[in-house]
A and B are shown apart, each in its own frame.
Chain A
Amino acid sequence: MAIWCADLALDRWRHSEGCQRGEGADAAPLALITETAHGPRIDAANHAARAAGAAKGMMLADARTLCPSIEVRPSDPAGDLAFLERLALWAMRWGPWSAMDPPDGVLVDVTAVAHLFGGEQRLLADVKARCDTRGLGVRAAIAPTAGAAWALAHYASPGAILGPDEDLQARLADLSVAALRLDNDVLLVLRRLGLKRLGDLAGIEEGRDRKGSGRDAIQRRFRNRKSPSANPLIRMDQLLGRVPEPLLPVVPVTAPMVQRRLLEPIRHRQLLDTVVSDLAQDMARTLEAMGEGARRLQLGLWRVDGEVLVRELEMAAATRDPDHMVRLFADRLDDIDAGFGIEMLRLRAAWSQPLGLDQSDLEAAAEQHGTSLAACMDRLTTRLGTQAVQRPVPRASHIPERAQGWQPPLEPEPAEQHQLAFHTRPLKLLERPERISVLYAAPEGYPRRFSWRGEVCEVARVEGPERIAPEWWRERGTARLRDYYRVEDEAGRRYWIYRNGLPTDGRGGMPDWYLQGLFA
């Protein structure tokens, strides 16, 4: 289904002015303009201005001679595009995915969806009615391919529906070649060749012998045009569904989805919780039928005023336990602003994994003894964030702080090369090494006394140095080696300190000392 907002910029302007179509400020001739190198140019003109002779693409000076009373406002293409994106998101109420069709259209995939709305006629009527209430003048059409739907929306009578059994070519033959979404210069070429309608182009393509011999002629004429919008043959094939036309959906395409359209918009949390738990149970059934469990869930809430709120959840292990989903969503729904009410909710499992059926009574017995590890991790990450709950894993590096990485708690550990057993490492490592001032007998020798965080430690025992060279393949040439010492002071405090460099290594002055770790 293609939705074309014929007057998107003007509709937005009217919305910001708060006036109806043809009333108030809109009654007088008005144009939205952009400043160009050759002076202001008209981007969009309202009905009165068009009646007076102004047209899109005209220079403002020309329009002023035709209609001296024309008023101008600056246009806002960036705002229009942002609005179009929101509109595309909103248009997903009619289908599982939608794509933007800049500058002023939206494409929605309504395959096998129309029956939910009572047929394609009613679906189009619903689109028309909903957009009218938002003050958007739209023309929508349904066709088997995106190209055909676009052509029908722009160049056929409003509300055109092309069924899957109908002959595409015959239905579209009367449309102008501009319905092929071609660039202006290509359209000029076609017009000069006398090809005005799609039927003419199709006739040439078939050739006199009706075997497609004319196709080569067109191909030769446009042989250097690789882009679809510059080559009428590619566009024609896309229109007829002979070659695929990739579209970029606003939200990635996904799998299981359940939704509730509500008779009355809800504004209260309690009702929302009820609907969410209904959705979770529907989702659990859907997932169970597929033998899958959800890893990522998206809850979309369509508000009456056209805003869409999306809440996303990610789980540590695949699950389809409705209670678990509801509990996790409960934390995420606290900051929902319902506005005038929420009229539709949809739950999608954006990422699902195979999950076998398991015996429910065993699980129920275990439920009394506590939650499972995966459920526990989910609750922690939902509240604290994914960065907060992690498992330390070894990484291939000699530098101590780099030898430890963090990964999500339930992922399998990477393969590791064993550390040498005689390397004693501290129990805890400071976030970053802290500088200490050290008293020593010789610059390369053992430390005698150091002060850290205002406390003075007399070194009673020391072992070292363990020399760790900089990783020359990663660090800059000026990086200095580290001499690590395990020290214990008279009170028994055990620390891991290092001297960053040697006095004689020629990479700076006297080396600094740092305290990096605490031994048990």
Chain B
Amino acid sequence: MDTSTLPKAAELAGRAARNPRWQPGAALPLHSEIFAPATQGAGAGAALAFLQDALRDTGEAVSSLEERSVLWVQDARAIKLGGRPYRAGLPEALRHRLIHVAAKTPEDALFAMEEGLRCRDLAVVVGEVAGNPRALDFTASRRLTLTAEKHGISLLLVRLDAQADLSSARMRWRLTSAPSSPPRWNIAAPGRPAWHAELFRARAHPPGEWILRDEPERLAAERIPASGPAAAPDHGDLVRGPGARSLAAL
């Protein structure tokens, strides 16, 4: 193996310091994972918000991207826990572009996602898999990453009620719902969606926590300053459980 092409340890250490913090409008990585509870719509909602954010940035340049379909793959347990997408509740721009795949098993869902990533006519593939199925191990996730990178189609994998196990995703988020900002006319009503987002592993950005708000024209993010002594250095995830290690830097 030729080790000269690999980055040196000093470079790796320095890169994290040089890497800018994540902010809305950053390029959507080709494979991201979003961990969310199954009893909330936060995972799927944030996935669509990220997707729209990315489409808005590239949308003007490549207008044909606007009309490419979105493949939404769910396995049977995800459908049972969280329901199916509802057309009238989808963002206006995505309503007519959604193709839904209801896979029976996680294996079928992985197959459908991989086939979707191979398809040049899709804008993005959104996956929803519940729990930590045996089929979705590191090999499978690496396979998805490689396929996504080969064909340049993004994959947003929403993991419902799942532990953060070994994965090769480029960005890993943990999302829960957050109280929404009161709407202008009826302050007693729920407003536009907001989420508490924790980026706990990313290749290009240091970890951090944000409150994301899905504004009409953009995705707003409000950084939550890290609190407590443990948050000062960014290599805090070394002390997490052994399964929580991410190989995103591979």
Contacts and interface: CB of A to CB of B under 8 A. Distances in A.
Interface of A: 366, 369-373, 375-377, 379-380, 383-384, 387-394, 400, 403-404, 406, 409, 413, 419, 423-431, 452-453, 455, 460-463, 486-488, 490-494, 517-520
Given A427-B45, A519-B45, A391 B100 contact: yes
Interface in B90-104: 90, 96, 98-104
Looking at A375, A384, A426, A460, which has the most chain B CB atoms within 10 Å of its CB?
A384
A424 B183 CA distance: 13
B48 interface: yes
Contact of A518 (B49, B82, B194): B82
Name, among A387, A413, A429, A494, the residue most crowded by chain B CB atoms within 10 Å (CB to CB): A494
B39 interface: yes
A404 B104 CA distance: 21
Interface string B170-185: 0000001111101000
A430 B196 CA distance: 23
Contact of B194 (A392, A452, A492): A492
16 contacts: A370-B118, A371-B119, A379-B115, A394-B88, A413-B96, A419-B88, A424-B89, A426-B89, A427-B44, A428-B86, A429-B85, A462-B190, A492-B176, A492-B196, A517-B89, A520-B42
A49 B48 CA distance: 81
Given A375-B119, A376-B119, 14 more contacts: A369-B151, A371-B120, A372-B120, A373-B122, A377-B99, A384-B111, A388-B104, A389-B112, A424-B89, A425-B86, A430-B83, A431-B80, A460-B179, A493-B40
Nearest to B192: A520
Greatest chain A CB density within 10 A among B103, B104, B186 is at B103
A390 to B, nearest CB: 6
B41 A520 contact: yes
A286 to B, nearest CB: 28
A493 B90 CA distance: 18
Nearest to A490: B179
Contacts, number: 179
B101 A519 contact: no
Contacts of B151: 369-370
Contacts of A431: 79-80, 83-84
Nearest to B79: A431
A404 B86 contact: yes
A279 to B, nearest CB: 25
A518 B40 contact: yes
B115 A380 contact: yes
Contacts of B176: 491-492
A380 B83 contact: no
A519 B86 contact: no
B190 A461 contact: yes
A373 B69 contact: yes
Nearest to A488: B190
B156 interface: no
Interface string B35-79: 000011110111011000000000000000000010000000001
B230 interface: no
Given A379-B115, A413-B96, A494-B41, A486 B190 contact: yes
Interface in B142-185: 151, 153, 176-180, 182
Contacts of B100: 389-392, 406
Interface of B: 39-42, 44-46, 48-49, 69, 79-80, 82-90, 96, 98-104, 108, 111-112, 115-116, 118-122, 151, 153, 176-180, 182, 186, 188-190, 193-196, 214
B85 A388 contact: no
Contact of A519 (B39, B41, B186): B41
Contacts of A517: 83, 86, 89
Given A380-B112, A391-B99, A494 B120 contact: no
Nearest to B128: A428
A404 B214 CA distance: 25
Q: Which 3 pairs, one residue from A and one from B, show the smallest C-beta to C-beta distance? A: A520-B45, A463-B189, A518-B41
A463 B186 contact: yes
A48 B66 CA distance: 81
B191 to A, nearest CB: 8
Contacts of A387: 102
Given A379-B115, A390-B100, A427-B44, A518 B83 contact: yes
Nearest to B108: A384
Contacts of A460: 179
A496 B175 CA distance: 20
B105 to A, nearest CB: 10
B119 A372 contact: yes
The residue in A429, A455, A460, A492 that gathers the most chain B C-beta atoms within 10 A of its C-beta is: A492
A384 B112 contact: yes
A322 B40 CA distance: 46
Nearest to A520: B45
A488 B41 CA distance: 12
A71 to B, nearest CB: 55
A390 B85 CA distance: 12
Nearest to A430: B83
A518 B179 CA distance: 15
